[in-house]
Amino acid sequence: MANPLLDPNSRIVIAHRGNRAGAPENTLESLRQAVEIGADALEFDVRVTRDGIPVVIHDVDVDRTTNGRGLVESFTFQELRSFDASARSPHRTGVPLPVPSLEEVLEAFRDTPLVIEVKELAAVEATEKMIRRFGAQNQVLIGSAETLVVELFYRSGLSTCASMRDATRLIPIALAGMRPSRPNFHVLSITRRFRGFPIPVLRMAAAARKVGIATQVWTVNDPSVARALWRGGVSGIVTDDPRAMLRARAA
């Protein structure tokens, strides 16, 4: 079975941390809502607990999203589960939501394409093992802002986004209109601006397409921007608001 996340001719909506516009991010509830809305894929973040359990949370600490305090890596999985992952969300319903494990997410979304951002080197081995345990190799795409993390996954046989280093190397090639060499990565995942600087997204997407590589752009919440990106050859929109992006695609 081909991985649908790798198709450069698709126009997919990828729910960033689930339905972040309507639910506490990176919770099972947020991910479920995104699937119910009709998102084509889910994106979420993985870190690892003190006892080596891969869990779905974005920040290095629990302070912003839960009612706890401290680094994720300082807690065991059971300790982490005592916190409410919806505590600081504007979409809190009053029902506590735990920080999910990667195992729970893979179990709950066996038929859904998943973009997994591995946030730290410590989570690489546990994440790969869990993906293989579920036989989800053709369902997932791995990314990370950490170049070393991505380059370790390059050697794993799993589908990967470009490392920051490789994405940066593509910029002058794209601006020159040249055909790049066949890369180690499977998807170019980029943003429209990075640290205040504009990124030539459509030129990069055109260069990637020459070698059969799909481009996904994060994080896009403006329907008009999403439509322009799709028209320009971008294949995936990563968004906090999957409902709005699905409407934009249908318009």
Per-residue pLDDT tens digits for 211-243: 999 999 999 999 999 999 999 999 999 999 999
Whether pLDDT at 37 is above 90: yes
Segment 36-49 shows an average pLDDT of: 98
Backbone phi, psi, residue 218, to 5°: -125, 160
Question: Pick from 26, 6, 180: which is nearest to 88 by CA?
Answer: 26
Distance CA 207, CA 202 (A): 9
Give the pLDDT confidence score for residue 251 in this predicted structure: 87
| Cα–chain center distance at 26 | 11
1 has pLDDT over 80: no
CA distance 146 to 117: 10
Q: What mean pLDDT is reported for the chain?
A: 97
For residues 165 and 157, what is the distance between their CA atoms, to the nearest angstrom? 19
pLDDT attached to residue 76? 98
Where do the structural domains in the chain lie, given as residue ranges? Answer: 4-250
Distance (Å, rounded) from C-alpha 135 to C-alpha 72? 27
Average pLDDT for 194-223: 97
CB atoms within 10 A of CB 121: 13
Structure confidence at residue 109 (pLDDT): 98
Dist. CA 18–CA 245, nearest whole Å: 13
| Rounded (5°) CA angle 159-162-165 | 145
pLDDT digits (tens, 9 = 90+) for 110-143: 999 999 999 999 999 999 999 999 999 999 999 9
- pLDDT, position 245: 98
In this predicted structure, the answer to whether residue 2 has a pLDDT above a threshold of 90 is no
Q: What would the two tokens of residue 228 be?
A: 């322009």
What is the pLDDT, as a whole number, of residue 60? 98
Contact 98, 85 (CB under 8 A): yes
pLDDT band at 93 (very low <50, low <70, confident <90, very high): confident
pLDDT tens string 51-80: 999 999 999 999 999 999 999 999 999 999
Residue 163 has pLDDT above 90, yes or no: yes
pLDDT of residue 193: 95
* Superfamily of 4-250 according to CATH: Phosphatidylinositol (PI) phosphodiesterase (3.20.20.190)
